[in-house]
Amino acid sequence: MSDYRDDDWPVAPDPDKPKPGIYEVAYLRSRIVERFKRRVIEIDFEIIESGQWAKKIVKLYFSIPLTGSPSEVSKYYLAWCKASGGTPKRGDRMTPHVFAGYWRAKLGLSERVTTAGGGIRKLEKEKGEVGRIRIDHLIERVAGSAPRASSRRGKALPPDELR
């Protein structure tokens, strides 16, 4: 009889999970979900490169405030400005549709985090634990363009009013 427990053995890699790295992805859809008493924008992208990972769906997450607008230093605001080609004007809806098109994206493994003493610190993964694959960030748009920004009333703004 062995003195080893099942937890002592390594976990096999998931054959259906892309490895972290740079991939070309296409925007599919987005939604706002509530997780752990926070609002999160969850955006689905599909890997479009040929090969084993073609058509695999990967997600990009952004935390947004429960009320009010995102901060100008928030991850969502900065990514939205990159995708739209400029900063929003007062009253513009910051919809995730600006991410439509094809992107070069960096994929990575998610890590567990906790708030301790008001800060966020990364926890080490437990032995054999493997994070979920997700998009770390969008590097650059490779094809397609952002749709026109819309005003608070939902009307498309003329191109000369866009930044």
Q: Which two tokens stand for residue 149?
A: 């920004």
The percent of the chain in helix, strand and coil, each rounded to the nearest 5, is 10, 40, 50
pLDDT of residue 116 exceeding 90, the answer is no
Comparison of pLDDT for 127 and 75, the residue scoring more: 75
Q: Which of the residue ranges 10-14, 80-84, 113-117 would you say has the lowest mean pLDDT?
A: 113-117
Cα–Cα distance between 103 and 15 in angstroms, integer? Answer: 24
> Which pLDDT belongs to residue 6?
67
CB 137 within 8 A of CB 161: no
Range 112-134 average pLDDT: 56
Long-range contacts of 57-60 (CB under 8 A, 24+ apart): 57/28, 58/18, 58/23, 58/25, 58/105, 58/107, 58/133, 58/134, 58/135, 59/134, 59/135, 60/99, 60/105, 60/134, 60/135, 60/138
Given a contact cutoff of 8 angstroms between Cβ atoms, the answer to whether 136 and 108 are in contact is yes
Condensed to tens digits (0 to 9), the pLDDT of residues 71-81 reads: 899 999 999 99
Q: What is the mean pLDDT of residues 132-143?
A: 88
pLDDT tops 70 at residue 32: yes
Quick one: 63 exposed, middle or buried, by C-beta within 10 A (0-12, 13-18, 19+)? Answer: middle
For the chain, domains (ranges, CATH) are: 18-143 (2.40.50)
Confidence of residue 20 (pLDDT cuts 50, 70, 90): confident
pLDDT for 77:
93
> Does position 46 have pLDDT exceeding 90, yes or no?
yes
Residue type, 49: E
Q: Which residues contact 115 (CB under 8 A, 6 or more apart)?
A: none
Q: What is the CA radius of gyration of the chain?
A: 19
> Is the pLDDT higher at 101 or at 10?
101
